[in-house]
Amino acid sequence: MAASSNESQGLKIAVAVFIALSVILSVTCYFLYSSYAQADAQRAKAVEGESTARKAQGMLQAQVEDLRGRIGVRAEDADAAKAEIDAHYKKIYGQLDELDNKVAASLQKFQQSGAQPAELEDLRAKVQQAIQSFRQENKRTYISSLDRLTELMENLSLLATVMGGDYLDLRHALESATTVNNKQLAVQTSQAETARNDVMEEQKKHVEERGSLLAKVETLTKDNDLKTTEIANLNEQVRRLKEEHDKERGLLTTQIRDWRDKAERSDVVLDHPDGYVTYVDYESREVQVNVNRQMGARPQMVLAIFDARSPGVPTEKPKGTIQLTKVGDLYSVARIVKMNNPIEPIRTGDIVYSAAWSPNSPTHFAFMGKIDVNRDGRDDRAELKRMIEDAGGVVDYDLPPPWLGKETGKLSPQIDWYVTDDRMPFRDVYNPSSEPMLKLESELKERMGKVIQEARLVGIRPMPIGKLLNYLGYDINTPIFGKTEAVNDAAIKRLVSPKRRENAAAPAADANAPAGNANAPADNAGASETPKKDDQAGDQ
């Protein structure tokens, strides 16, 4: 029983639970259905709104596409479209600037052609104003841009109209000018034709003259060919004669060299006297010699005096030195510069000699290397040259050391002596040795060797400077005198005037004068000096 009561109680509980669950399920289904109905209504409303929005978006997209087409923008994005519009505006600005420049150039051309400048300048100002207003507009829109461009087109149209009118006026003026020019051209053409005919006639004359000239040229060409052949033959003869002359000159040079070599081997007779002493005045230390102006003597010449009995002229040591003070047509007066030995005075009949001068023929010299006259270690070539010129000689060639100057002159067979100086100076002179200086000295020695060899080949004889200085009467202790600028005429007259003697004995010729010498003076017997005076001078 208990079991059946428990089962019925369980069944009751199960039924109760079932009923409760059914009620809960019914309530739940009701609420769910109610929520679904609201959601479905909202969905339908949303679908309708979406459809409306799509229609509006389609209309906006169509409007945007229409505006893009009207504006000409290709980009779909707003920023890209703005950038494209700005780039296009920039391009338009450049075109407007170019347009302004073209308008200015066209206006300038029209002004040069004669157009009215005032109207053109006004139109150009309007064009520039439209361009500036287009560029400087702050709120630029499509419509405002079209307005500015329309205004610009209007100004350009007006400008084109004015320019066209000016062009028509200019064309009419040019047509009238062309008509006048055509008339003038016809006149000028007629004159040109006449001138052309004259030129053709003149050209015909020139052609005929040219033919005759060509014939003359052909004749002259033949003559020229003949002359050329003759010149070639003469050149060949000249060349042959030159070769013969060179051979003969070489033979003569060899002979001269041999003769000079033979002359140098003779120590006794070296040269001929240049003159003689015809009178001596020891009181005034003056002498009279028989050299004169016709022989080439001149004042200031220095001459050496040798004894009349000298075995050769000149000897190594002269008796003294004189210097001409007055040169006449028959004789000359000289002062005694120096007497080497008081017991051997200068006498009437003594030989007058100059190593640098001969009657009517000066002696030519060449200097080679260093020239130290007073042996002080310094070069004295200028002083030696002065002494040679004072003695009547000429220096034709000079080869100084490179540090003193350049080589001057030219060697020739006319040169009689070449002077060298191999003496040592009296005192040592410090010369700093360096590589360039040693090189210059070596070059000098090499050049001297070649020049001396060349001088010997042309027959030039050597003259040591010591011997030359003896002949020139140089004394190292004698002061150097300059050239005389004044002459004591009273002393010269007293010297040449006849001497008064206590004894009325006639003057006699000096016994020491060489007899029969061609250079002795013809009036030597009329000399004013007495033998007694010469003997007294000899005793001294």
SS (H, E, C) 43-99: HHHHHHHHHHHHHHHHHHHHHHHHHHHHHCCCCCCHHHHHHHHHHHHHHHHHHHHHH
CA distance 475 to 480: 10
Note the pLDDT of residue 459: 78
Note the pLDDT of residue 288: 93
CA distance 538 to 346: 9
CA distances from 253 to 117, 425, 458, 462 (A): 100, 36, 6, 16
Mean pLDDT calculated for residue range 475-499: 65
Mean pLDDT calculated for residue range 342-355: 86
CA distance 431 to 378: 11
Copy the structure tokens of residue 343.
Answer: 């017991």
More confident residue, 84 or 350: 350
Note the pLDDT of residue 42: 82
Residue 532 has pLDDT above 50, yes or no: no
Please check whether residue 440 is in contact with residue 405, taking contact to mean a CB–CB distance below 8 angstroms: no
Note the pLDDT of residue 516: 37
More confident residue, 329 or 167: 329
Mean pLDDT calculated for residue range 65-81: 69
Mean pLDDT calculated for residue range 291-319: 78
CA distance 119 to 111: 11
Note the pLDDT of residue 76: 66
Note the pLDDT of residue 435: 78
CA distance 422 to 275: 32
Residue 55 has pLDDT above 80, yes or no: yes
Quote the DSSP letter at residue 268. S
Residue 24 has pLDDT above 80, yes or no: yes
Residue 311 has pLDDT above 80, yes or no: no
Looking at beta carbons, which pairs linking 522-526 to residues 24 or more positions away fall under 8 Å? 523/278, 523/330, 524/276, 524/278, 524/290, 524/348, 524/349
CA distance 110 to 116: 8
In a 13 Å sphere around the CA of 368, the CA atoms on its Cβ side amount to 26
10 Å Cβ neighbour count for 468?
23
Residue 371 has pLDDT above 50, yes or no: yes
Whole-number average pLDDT of the chain: 77
Copy the structure tokens of residue 19.
Answer: 């009923």
Q: What percent of the chain has pLDDT above 90?
A: 8
Mean pLDDT calculated for residue range 301-310: 83
CA distances from 127 to 100, 159, 185, 201, 305 (A): 8, 9, 43, 64, 119
Note the pLDDT of residue 10: 79
Please check whether residue 343 is in contact with residue 356, taking contact to mean a CB–CB distance below 8 angstroms: no
CA distance 156 to 180: 35
Torsion from C-alpha of 391, 395, 399, 402, nearest 10 degrees: 70
pLDDT in tens, 254-265: 777 666 665 555
Please check whether residue 372 is in contact with residue 425, taking contact to mean a CB–CB distance below 8 angstroms: yes
Residue 539 has pLDDT above 50, yes or no: no
More confident residue, 272 or 394: 394
Note the pLDDT of residue 220: 92
CA distance 487 to 326: 8
Residue 33 has pLDDT above 50, yes or no: yes
Note the pLDDT of residue 502: 52
Note the pLDDT of residue 357: 77
Note the pLDDT of residue 338: 85
Out of 146-160, 203-217, 294-308, pick the least confident: 146-160
Tell me the helices (H) and strands (E) count for the chain, helix number first: 9, 13
10 Å Cβ neighbour count for 167?
14
Give the angle 394-398-401 at the CA atoms, nearest 5°: 150
Which of 521, 538, 69 lies closest to 319 in space, CA to CA? Answer: 538
CA distances from 225 to 212, 217, 233 (A): 20, 12, 12
Mean pLDDT calculated for residue range 102-119: 69
Mean pLDDT calculated for residue range 212-236: 91
CA distances from 372 to 333, 380, 431, 465, 482 (A): 31, 5, 15, 9, 20
Note the pLDDT of residue 4: 65
pLDDT in tens, 505-529: 444 444 344 433 334 333 333 333 3
Note the pLDDT of residue 497: 74
Note the pLDDT of residue 286: 92
Which of 522, 533, 523 lies closest to 499 in space, CA to CA? Answer: 533
Q: What percent of the chain has pLDDT above 70?
A: 75
Note the pLDDT of residue 217: 92
Note the pLDDT of residue 231: 93
Mean pLDDT calculated for residue range 351-360: 79
Which H or E element spans position 219?
A: helix 142-265
End-to-end CA distance of the chain: 220
238 — pLDDT class (breaks 50, 70, 90): very high
Please check whether residue 142 is in contact with residue 73, taking contact to mean a CB–CB distance below 8 angstroms: no
Mean pLDDT calculated for residue range 381-392: 84
pLDDT in tens, 1-17: 556 667 788 788 888 88
CA distances from 470 to 297, 306, 365, 386 (A): 20, 11, 16, 15
Note the pLDDT of residue 175: 84
Whether the CA torsion 521, 523, 527, 531 is positive or negative: it is: positive
Note the pLDDT of residue 138: 56
More confident residue, 381 or 263: 381
Note the pLDDT of residue 415: 87
Which H or E element spans position 11?
A: helix 2-71
CA distance 120 to 144: 26
Residue 49 has pLDDT above 70, yes or no: yes
Residue 162 has pLDDT above 50, yes or no: yes
Note the pLDDT of residue 358: 77
